[in-house]
Structure 1
């Protein structure tokens, strides 16, 4: 009896995904695969003593969300039969549900398949795969799977490697409108040469440099309103999913708080700082952090009507990590956009 021992060695170097400059919708893959039949089939004349098979196939994958995809698969396989003395052909078709692991290029899948070869039968399958993005549109992937025959109780094994093309629209960058600054002319001060206190502020008109000050406010020796100063500030901290610059709906309220603050204090401006986790290359992380900062800037301009001249966005990549580790929790707090505004406001001092 021939025995089969298949060992899958994952020796892929961890690499960052290409920048998500497209809204992914579908993926079309082509692959080559290797199917090792159950040893019971190798010794059974009813199965023509089928051994291993090599084939080609295609799959069509629908992107559901950040965690789940669904995939249709069709493949044709050339099998060795009769102890390697002959060959036969078969087909395989089916559907899989795919779960993508967080902060990883690995994924798990399960599904059902219809095999038509020496005998026709239905099978349930489970497996794991690894995807490696090589550009915005193209990626490599490899998978290992186990197929359990639901009709005859046999178990086959499979391995595939393939290339995928991603469909989707290119994301549009936020349109930044240049603001036109208006020149405000100062209001001339009207001097009244009178030896009386017209505005009742306690300063005679011949010394009063600020006419018509309200009677209930305190003034200086020249009759001008006295102010007290206080400091006001607001902070923004928006987090992102892995390899994403899309803003979670739960974070929109925090962005609106920043916008409301800027509308109340119209002399303020802000630098929006984008950051990434330590996973991936420095150049990729710098680009992704800049995209995150630009996303927040675009929302403030287009959704909350903040003047573009008051905003700037800068990506820092992985240079300012909050957490130095690479666990999912560390990566989560490092994938962020932060902003802080501090200003001093004046308040009239009343009597």
Structure 2
């Protein structure tokens, strides 16, 4: 959490510089360093059983072009020796060539180094890193490197985490010349009468009664649309009544107008008779409405689900003929959100 807070603070401090556009020429960086010595060195007394080293370093990079940098670095590390019972201080310095992969922040490096710790030796190294820009001048970087000791044949590993500052001149802002040709006069025209002149109008021929944005394109507002179905049946019957066809067609028309919708068709019954019989009857009623939508109105079956509820969802609990008639029904509801153009008031 502490590391995150420091990073965030650096971003906030440097954010005013983000507005600059600079020609970078040099970068100076400071970093934390971790070097893991070869396990073979850990087992040898002539290396004092040297283990890992931790320390700090500084580097200076010359920015050659968009792809290449040259770098010189110096680091000082504190190594654990004698199986962790002692310490030894060492230095490392050398040169690197850095290849940057486009604007990705990723880079590869290769170079030569001189190590001076328990013993002194020369090494060649290769690795990869990632650079994250906080602003035009400040950036964070991390790096992983392999060092090959060319004097003794050992291989060490290194890791870095640091921050860099770029030097360079601020680019001059481009001079914008105001156009005074007759084109500017022509641009004052508003050929589609939407209140935006033709020079700025990105949506030509917008209807005059439609509200538009600053670019002359229609404004849209979300609106909820819905349709309800309520088909009634005779007592002990799953046969559609002719007068119910119009209600089913309204549902079909809605589904054709909004092809991404689907619906659950719910069948219900009155409380007269046995519950299992009523459940089967309600399912038949739901099925007959579903089949009408498929066969008579060409609605895709995958958009329809038929489910019977029997007498479990009565809307009228009385025992009169009118109560029973109200409960013998198939219902459905579809609701969806659509975008509609905003009309001028």
Q: TM-score under structure 2 normalisation?
A: 0.47
Q: Greater helix share, 1 or 2?
A: 2
Q: TM-score under structure 1 normalisation?
A: 0.46
